[in-house]
Amino acid sequence: MNEFAELVHDLRALPTAAPESLRERVLALGEPVPRRTLPQVSWRRSLVVLVPACAVALVSAAVVHGVFSSGTSPKPQALTSERGVAGEALAPTTRPPFVPPDGNRHQDYEASMTVRVKDLDALTDRTNEAMQVARSYGGYVASVQQSTQAGEPGEAYLILRVPVGRVEEAMVRLSDLGTVLARQVSVVDLEQTLRQQRAHILRLKLFIARATEQLKASLPADVRLRLQLQLQGARDDLARVTRANGATLNQAALSHVALTLTTQKAATPVQKSSTGRFERAARDAGSFLAGTGAVGLFLLIVLSPLIVVAGAAVVGLRAYRRREERRLLAA
């Protein structure tokens, strides 16, 4: 023990003080100019602060999003869609009116509606009634499918074509077949398409008239042949564009109504109360959070290989430096 103490004493007594020249050199450095730097915070402490801060920011953003989005209910003019919550029926008093077709314009009018009926017997009766409604307004039934399997709710799916001028009345009558569960109307203006088709037809007719006139005169054989070919092409084009124009007019004349009749029971209607907006806000906020989570998960999945590679590189670099240090200091 005494030997060890002696060794320690000898080691500490070794003349290893810094020489005066070195002391002067170091002390000549003076005092560094004080810089106002951010406080040094370890990454663990940073995480402790940053993680809750990010969580609070995310939740706040979700709440703000929920509150703002629940306060507005934008509906495009040309496309309306109403659906009861969880299959809840649209109450007749709160049911918004149909978007009527514009009588002065050609429009492609499409509507779909889901109507709940009482039972399978009613399903058959209401299907027949729907077909009669279409016919009574000068339309026709494009297709009808009805399925009634044991243990399953019965369903009938009809495609009705009703003249656009009377589709509003037809929709009202179809709504009376049962309880409306969902309704959607889509209106696409066809005026632009028709204008283009008419202009094209006019151009083709003019060309055909001129070409026919030219062919009456005497022309060189090759010019005549080329003109005849162009005339034939123009006539073919005219026939095609005229057919397309007819189809567009037909599309504008008859609306397309997809009607679904179902016996499926509606879910218990949700009581409308003063908490409705709060619930919508909560639901929107939840959706926002779920969306953010999905994006985060996607990024994690996409970036995880890079993170693993970067982590492995850091670990490898550290191991390499450690081994190199050991080698240098073992010499």
Partner 1 sequence: MRAVNAVTSSWPGLQVDRPTFASVAERELDAVHRYLVFLTGNRAVAEDLTGETFEKAFRGWPRFDPRRGTPRAWLCRIARSVALDHFRAEERRRRREERYAGSAGEVVSEVLGPSSLEAALAQLSPAEREVVALRVVLDLDGPTAARVLGISPTACSTRLSRALKRLEELIDDERVR
Please give the residue ranges that form the binding site for partner 1 (CB under 8 A).
3-4, 7-8, 10-12, 14-19, 22-23, 25-27, 29-32, 34-37, 39-40, 322, 324-326, 328-331
260 CB-side CA count, 13 A: 14
Task: In angstroms, give the least distance from the CB of 331 to partner 1.
Answer: 7
Q: Which is nearer to partner 1, 3 or 222 (CB)?
A: 3
Residue 67's SS3 state is helix
Task: In angstroms, give the least distance from the CB of 268 to partner 1.
Answer: 56
Q: Which is nearer to partner 1, 12 or 265 (CB)?
A: 12
**Opening angle at CA 47, ends 46 and 52, nearest 5:** 110
Strand order in the sheet with 140-147: 79-83, 179-189, 107-116, 254-262, 155-163, 140-147
Q: Which is nearer to partner 1, 22 or 59 (CB)?
A: 22
Nearest to 263 by CA among 157, 125, 123: 123
Q: Which is nearer to partner 1, 298 or 320 (CB)?
A: 320
DSSP, res 219: -
| Distance between CA atoms of residues 28 and 323, nearest Å | 37
Q: Count CB atoms within 10 A of the CB of residue 288.
A: 19
| Distance between CA atoms of residues 111 and 4, nearest Å | 99
Q: Which is nearer to partner 1, 4 or 192 (CB)?
A: 4
Task: In angstroms, give the least distance from the CB of 275 to partner 1.
Answer: 44
Torsions phi, psi for 279 (to 5 deg): -65, -40
Say which amino acid occupies 225.
Answer: L
Q: Count CB atoms within 10 A of the CB of residue 242.
A: 15
Task: In angstroms, give the least distance from the CB of 309 to partner 1.
Answer: 25
Q: Which is nearer to partner 1, 27 or 306 (CB)?
A: 27
- Would you state the structure tokens that stand for residue 301, as one six-digit string? 């999945």
| Distance between CA atoms of residues 79 and 329, nearest Å | 78
CA 269, chain centre distance (Å): 28
Q: Which is nearer to partner 1, 37 or 273 (CB)?
A: 37
- 204-229 core/surface letters (b: 16 or more CB in 10 A; e: else): beebbeebeeeeeeeeeeeeeeebee
Residues sharing a CB contact under 8 Å with residue 86, sequence separation 6 or more, in sequence order: 267, 270
Task: In angstroms, give the least distance from the CB of 315 to partner 1.
Answer: 15
Task: In angstroms, give the least distance from the CB of 322 to partner 1.
Answer: 7
Task: In angstroms, give the least distance from the CB of 319 to partner 1.
Answer: 12
Q: Which is nearer to partner 1, 22 or 300 (CB)?
A: 22
| Distance between CA atoms of residues 239 and 247, nearest Å | 12
Task: In angstroms, give the least distance from the CB of 48 to partner 1.
Answer: 16
Task: In angstroms, give the least distance from the CB of 301 to partner 1.
Answer: 35
Q: Which is nearer to partner 1, 105 or 321 (CB)?
A: 321
Say which amino acid occupies 3.
Answer: E
